[in-house]
Structure 1
Amino acid sequence: MGQMPTPYGKWGWPGMPFMMGPAQPLMGPVYGGQVAVPEEQSYLENILRLNRGKMATIYTTNDNNPEWAAKVFRGEVENAARDHVVLSDPETGQRYVILMVNIDFLTFDEPLRYTPDIYGR
């Protein structure tokens, strides 16, 4: 789009263009409604998202909590974000929001999807 004049002419700060336009998303291309995640970005949140609906057991430690120093959660992966995962226990309907910083490790009862299937493999 166009450039707005500034005290430095058509440039913002010396040597840096000042341009206005629509904000660009900070994500990769979208395939089948999912953002493509490059194979080298196998972050826990991405692995959990790729395995929504699968049963998981999550082992946590909770520093400075004498009541729950270590806790195990079991449930279906509903969703995951950068700092948390949401599990739901299908037997009780209870939902858990677990902070990623507290997760030591997790297990699944079935094979995992580790990378998005963007190429139809």
Structure 2
Amino acid sequence: MMQQFQPVGYTIGNTRGVNGAPNGSVMGMGMNNGMGMNNGMGNGVGGSYMKPPQVASGNPMTPTGNVVSTNAPVFEQSYIENILRLNVGKVGTFYMTYENNKEWNARIFKGVVEAAGRDHIIISEPDTGRRVILLTIYLDYITFDEPINYQYPGVPGTMQPMRR
């Protein structure tokens, strides 16, 4: 017969709760400052802790913990999946390398770009219509036989196809 799981409580860290109240007491647990916002204190396992400040992604912090706000515009970076998304419907040749594979170390796929994500590319082979998911970790490079659409991030203007 299996024995029922019985959770065990341990005291870790600060043995006093919020505002000096003992852990487990109702005082300070989930209280707010009367304005509908948390008072900056949270209750973790075994005591209270200060919640870290909200920091916008990319903003630097000083050694004392102050957030340095920058007004620099944030632009999307130029990743292969973004370039492929601009070129959905175009035929490309995808050169892949699979290291330590005895059957085929390098392989070439030709297909219509259907979709692209951070770690994958979905193509359909024009001859068979078969859909193939390629993992970008194995991607070496891609060629297109026609001009591709590309907009460099942070540069305003209309997207123009690149010329040969």
- Length-normalised TM-score, structure 1: 0.69
In the alignment, the residues of structure 2 paired with residue 98 and residue 82 of structure 1 have an alpha-carbon distance, to the nearest angstrom, of: 11
- Structure 2's unaligned 5+ residue stretches are 1-34, 42-48, 58-73, 160-164
**Cα drift, residue 68 of structure 1:** 1.5
In the alignment, the residues of structure 2 paired with residue 62 and residue 15 of structure 1 have an alpha-carbon distance, to the nearest angstrom, of: 45
* Correspondence for 2:37: 3
In the alignment, the residues of structure 2 paired with residue 87 and residue 96 of structure 1 have an alpha-carbon distance, to the nearest angstrom, of: 5
The count of aligned residue pairs is 98
* Correspondence for 1:14: 50
Q: Structure 1 residues 79, 16: CA separation in 2 closer, same or farther (over 3 Å shift)? A: same
Is the 1:42–1:114 contact (alpha carbons within 8 Å) kept by the matching residues of 2? no
Q: Structure 1 residues 60, 16: CA separation in 2 closer, same or farther (over 3 Å shift)? A: closer
The share of aligned pairs that are identical, in percent, is: 47
**Cα drift, residue 73 of structure 1:** 0.2
- State which of 146, 153, 158 in structure 2 corresponds to 1:110: 146
- Structure 1's unaligned 5+ residue stretches are 5-9, 19-25, 27-36
Q: Structure 1 residues 14, 73: CA separation in 2 closer, same or farther (over 3 Å shift)? A: same
Map Cα deviations across residues 37-71 of structure 1 (whole Å, 9 max, x no partner). Answer: 946x1110110111000000000000111111000
The one-letter code sitting in structure 1 at the alignment partner of 2:101 is N
- Greater relative contact order (CA < 8 Å, ≥ 6 in sequence): 1
User: Which runs of structure 2 are paired with 1:2-81 in the superposition (5 Å)?
Assistant: 2-4=36-38, 10-12=39-41, 13-14=49-50, 16=52, 38=75, 41-81=77-117
The one-letter code sitting in structure 1 at the alignment partner of 2:94 is I
Structure with bigger gyration radius: 2
- State which of 72, 83, 98 in structure 1 corresponds to 2:119: 83
Q: CA RMSD in A?
A: 2.8
**Cα drift, residue 113 of structure 1:** 1.0
- Length-normalised TM-score, structure 2: 0.52
In the alignment, the residues of structure 2 paired with residue 113 and residue 100 of structure 1 have an alpha-carbon distance, to the nearest angstrom, of: 20
